Copies of this chain bind each other. A is one copy, B any other.
């Protein structure tokens, strides 16, 4: 049940689809999908586009941005390894509601809408997988939204910093309490509903407090204990997401 589909270079794990794919499905999935690499700055799809299929992120970081007609925009959430994008448009038979911006070099597995629809018909249980996925995305977005509404910029920034740190912590645990931001300042700003200038000033304040140092994109936690203490709440919510 946790075998890996390999065909044309694709490597969607069965587990990524809600544990509902049997071997046959897995084979069909592999044949229905193909992989592509996106460079930073590219868009996987754009808000308003008609939907051509779903995208499963194998590696890298992708941001989902929502824009309005006035030119304002915000990045609603980050997607990474194991996340699936565009399924709402396929299943809901609508246009994409967000733009998927590639933030770091990403391997992405694509499955055509028609083929996915066929798979869904063949195996209705696959719907369960997407249902669970939708529920997780809903919870993530709700949590984000609530945080946005109730907490100040510094608290939101600290939380984001912590989440980004946790991501790499699992991968590289050699150098302690140091990591590189995978995104630019302006992306951080977009994620927090702020301006890059404000991010700069927040960083200044944090450095003055001796909480953390920034060298370009490198982040050095000078006092991890105080850092963790300052975040307090919100951690269990973040870790319970996955």
Contacts and interface: CB of A to CB of B under 8 A. Distances in A.
Interface string A129-150: 0111011111101111111111
A234 B66 CA distance: 12
A178 B150 CA distance: 32
A148 B193 CA distance: 8
Interface residues of A, number: 41
Contacts of A72: 150-151
Contacts of A146: 66, 68, 73-74, 76
A44 to B, nearest CB: 17
A145 B143 CA distance: 10
A135 B136 CA distance: 11
A137 B145 CA distance: 13
A209 interface: no
Interface stretch (A1-9, A120-128, A169-177): A120-128
A92 B138 CA distance: 12
Contacts of A144: 145
A148 B150 contact: no
A232 interface: yes
Given A66-B146, A98-B142, A150-B193, 16 more contacts: A66-B143, A68-B150, A68-B233, A68-B234, A69-B232, A69-B233, A74-B146, A74-B150, A97-B139, A97-B142, A124-B125, A127-B131, A130-B131, A141-B142, A145-B145, A149-B193
